[in-house]
Amino acid sequence: MPSGPTPGIHDLSFATTEFVLPHTALAAHNGAEIGKYHVGIGQRAMSVPALDEDIVTLGAAAAAPVLARHGTDRIRTVLFATESSIDQAKSAGVYVHALLGLPSAARVVELKQACYSATAALQFATALVHRDPAQRVLVIAADTSKYALGSPGEATQGAAAVAMLIGSDPALVRIEEPSGLYTADVMDFWRPNYRDAALVDGKKSVTAYLRAVEGAWTDYREQGGRALDEFGAFCYHQPFTRMAYKAHRHLLDVVGRDADRDEIAGAVGPTTTYNAVVGNSYTASLYLGLAALLDQVDDLTGRPVGFLSYGSGSVAEFFAGTVSPGYREHLRTGAHREAVERRRPLDYAGYRALHEWSFPTDGGDHPTPAQTGGPFRLAALRDHQRVYETR
């Protein structure tokens, strides 16, 4: 493998939806105490896709600022991670490739393993850059999480996309070796092909997640990874933000440390800001946590950050990244905050109408209402083909 700078995340940008449902509206409809959401699961709002939004439009919107800053010439691979796939054969990334005008001399694939696959994409991307330090890889993680109305998972729904440019001598975070890995066959969360909404066993999923934390960390240390005290912060997959606190408390227990509340809050609290108001974005969730951490903490230069990626079913990975000198000059803090603040609030009736809508399956011409104001939209389903347009 060629020697040289350690590959990593050179740029990071995220996008979320046109609409938002505050948990106050959900609580009012359900007759629930708001503390059930604000405190119990740590969620305050959830992003809701418009009828002309999906993982492709969100992924393209997240990636466009990255390409505007860095160009496309060195991008020969696009890795699209999602568990909200729109086609059983064609990669969602191919649609994004066209919308963004990327060169035809590129490979584009879609990766799937529940919420974990963006980390697989990141690791595959760093391997490609190791092999050829001159190239860059565009990694996109995009998902819309959907559960049945009135189900326990309803309050954790959300939607977002994160785009990361992976290259040598990265401006944001250098991805280190080794990784700690863990896989177990667990039916804690799944979505059969014939269902739009996922199925989840909440208690089983929390237990499976915590076992994965322990397994991935144990393997990480056995592979020669850093000691716990070396890390300046920890990013966890956040199906709901309180899960990050549970996971870190469990990690402290595993290494025989007292689970001090202030220590836990300091380690994971800054990573939860965006997820708390966006909801569960599945593959994008972990990296939305990284965006929040980098955007909020004053100076992480040279500090290692621990990453725990979890995907139900289940696969997990623990790895480390060191924050690059001068990283703050390359952040998109203002754009990220604007993406969250620009969303239009829904009442429960408006949210329910969007939740229950679906395209007919007869192969006819079915245009979508223009509800969004972003650069890309899903214009229609025509002849069983999704039709996208740029503005």
Distance of CA 54 to the CA centre of its chain: 14
Evaluate whether 102 touches 63 at the Cβ level (below 8 Å). no
Q: 380 pairs with which residues across the strands?
A: 367, 387
Place of tokens 């990694």: 139
**Range list of H helices, 223-284:** 242-254, 261-268, 273-278
CA atoms within 13 A on the CB side of 303: 18
Evaluate whether 114 touches 205 at the Cβ level (below 8 Å). no
The token pair at 383 is: 């002849």
- Which of 18, 83, 154, 176 is catalytic? The answer is 83
- Which of 53, 97, 110, 115 is catalytic? The answer is 115
**Does residue 257 sit in helix, strand or coil?**
coil
Q: How many residues does the chain have?
A: 391
The token pair at 178 is: 């080794």
Answer yes or no: 237 catalytic: yes
Evaluate whether 168 touches 175 at the Cβ level (below 8 Å). no
- The CA angle 26-29-30, to the nearest 5 degrees, is 85
Phi–psi pair at 385, nearest 5 degrees: -115, 135
Distance CA 68, CA 73 (A): 12
Q: Give the largest Cα separation in the chain, rounded.
A: 61
- Which of 237, 248, 336, 355 is catalytic? The answer is 237
Distance CA 286, CA 162 (A): 10
**Residues taking part in catalysis:** 83, 115, 237
